[in-house]
Structure 1
Amino acid sequence: MSRFLLVTPDTAYDRRFRAAVEGRIPGDVQTVFNASLPGTPDELLGRSIGEVPSVVLLGPGVAVEDALSLGAVFDVQRPEVSLVLVGPDDPALALAAMRAGFRDVVAVTADEVTLRVVLTRATDAADSRRRALPGAGASSAGTYANGHSSSRPDSRVIVVTSPKGGVGKTTLAANLAVGLGSIAPMNTIIVDLDVQFGDVAAALRLAPEHNLTDATTGPASQDALVLKTFLSVHPASIYALCTPSNPIEGERINAAQVTHLLDQLTGQFQYIVVDTAPGMGEHSLAALESATDVVFVTGMDVPGVRGMRKQMDLLNELGLVPQEVKVVVNAADRNNGLSVQDIEATIKHHVDLVIPRSKMAGYATNRGEPLLLHSPKDKASKKLRELVGMFDPDYTAPRKGNHRKAVGA
Structure 2
Amino acid sequence: MSRYVLITPNGDFERLVRLATAGMHGSLQVFQSDHLPDGPGDVLRQMVGEPPEVLILGPGISVDGSLKLASVVDLQYPEISVILAAPSTPETVLQAMRVGVRDLLDPGADPDTIRVMLERASLAAAGRRRGLAPQASEHVDNGGGGRIIAVMSPKGGVGKTTVATNLAVGLGKTAPMSVVIVDLDLQFGDVASGLLLEPEFTLTDAVLGAASQDSMVLKTYLTVHPAGIYALCAPRSPVEMDRITAAHVSHLLEQLRQEFRYIVVDTAPGLGEHVLATLEQATDAVWICGMDVPSIRGLRTGFQILEELALVPEQRHIVLNMADRRAGLSLQDVEATIGAPVDVVLPRSKSLPFSTNKGVPVLQEGNRDPASKGLRRLVDRFKPDWEARPHKQLHRRAVFQ
TM range (shorter): 0.7 to 0.9
Q: Distance in 2 between matches of 1:384 and 1:234?
A: 19
The superposition leaves residues 87-110 of structure 1 with CA deviations (integer Å, 9 ceiling, x where unpaired) of xxxxxx6479x69x9753364543
1:183 and 2:174 correspond? yes
Secondary structure at the aligned position of 2:325 is classed as coil
Q: Which amino acid aligns with 1:114?
A: M
1:315 and 2:300 correspond? no
Q: Which residue among 217, 220, 223 is the counterpart of 1:229?
A: 220
On the 8 A contact 1:289/1:320 being kept in 2, the answer is: yes
On the 8 A contact 2:53/2:122 being kept in 1, the answer is: no
Q: Which moved more, 1:175-184 or 1:368-377?
A: 368-377
Superposed, which structure 2 residues align to 1:3-402 within 5 Å? Answer: 6-7=5-6, 33=29, 35-37=31-33, 41-42=37-38, 44-48=40-44, 56-58=55-57, 65=60, 68-69=61-62, 72-75=64-67, 79-81=71-73, 84-85=83-84, 94=87, 104-105=104-105, 107=109, 108-110=111-113, 112-115=115-118, 153=144, 155-374=146-365, 376-395=367-386, 396=389, 398=391, 400-401=395-396
Q: Which amino acid aligns with 1:180?
A: L
Q: Which moved more, 1:281-290 or 1:205-214?
A: 205-214
Q: Which amino acid aligns with 1:360?
A: S
Q: Distance in 1 between matches of 2:30 and 2:352?
A: 50
Secondary structure at the aligned position of 1:304 is classed as helix
Q: Give the unaligned 5+ runs of structure 1.
A: 20-30, 87-92, 124-149
On the 8 A contact 1:331/1:355 being kept in 2, the answer is: yes
Q: Distance in 1 between matches of 2:163 and 2:189?
A: 14
Q: Percent identity?
A: 46
Residue 78 of structure 2 corresponds to which residue in structure 1?
none
Q: Distance in 2 between matches of 1:229 and 1:120?
A: 17
Secondary structure at the aligned position of 2:38 is classed as helix
Residues 214 and 301 of structure 1, relative CA distance in 2, 3 Å threshold: same
Q: Distance in 2 between matches of 1:255 and 1:4?
A: 44
Cα RMSD, aligned residues only: 3.7
Report the alpha carbon displacement of residue 161 of structure 1 after superposing the two structures with TM. 0.5
Q: Give the unaligned 5+ runs of structure 2.
A: 8-13, 75-81, 127-140
Report the alpha carbon displacement of residue 192 of structure 1 after superposing the two structures with TM. 0.8
Q: Distance in 1 between matches of 2:316 and 2:291?
A: 19
Secondary structure at the aligned position of 2:105 is classed as strand
Q: Which amino acid aligns with 2:152?
A: T
Q: How high is the TM-score relative to the length of structure 2? A: 0.76
The superposition leaves residues 219-255 of structure 1 with CA deviations (integer Å, 9 ceiling, x where unpaired) of 0111111111111121111111111121111221110
Secondary structure at the aligned position of 1:355 is classed as strand
The superposition leaves residues 43-94 of structure 1 with CA deviations (integer Å, 9 ceiling, x where unpaired) of 55234279x99974247xxxx54xx15x5445457744466346xxxxxx64
Q: How many residues align?
A: 353
Secondary structure at the aligned position of 1:165 is classed as coil
Residues 197 and 324 of structure 1, relative CA distance in 2, 3 Å threshold: same
Q: Distance in 2 between matches of 1:77 and 1:301?
A: 59
On the 8 A contact 1:191/1:241 being kept in 2, the answer is: yes
On the 8 A contact 1:299/1:332 being kept in 2, the answer is: yes
Q: Which amino acid aligns with 1:105?
A: L
Q: Distance in 1 between matches of 2:370 and 2:252?
A: 36
Q: Distance in 2 between matches of 1:151 and 1:226?
A: 23
Residue 23 of structure 1 corresponds to which residue in structure 2?
none
Q: How high is the TM-score relative to the length of structure 1? A: 0.75
Q: Which moved more, 1:372-381 or 1:201-210?
A: 372-381
Secondary structure at the aligned position of 2:260 is classed as coil
Report the alpha carbon displacement of residue 11 of structure 1 after superposing the two structures with TM. 8.6
Q: Which moved more, 1:356-365 or 1:73-82?
A: 73-82
On the 8 A contact 1:156/1:266 being kept in 2, the answer is: yes
Q: Distance in 2 between matches of 1:112 and 1:12?
A: 9
On the 8 A contact 1:355/1:384 being kept in 2, the answer is: yes
Q: Distance in 1 between matches of 2:339 and 2:25?
A: 50
Secondary structure at the aligned position of 2:243 is classed as coil
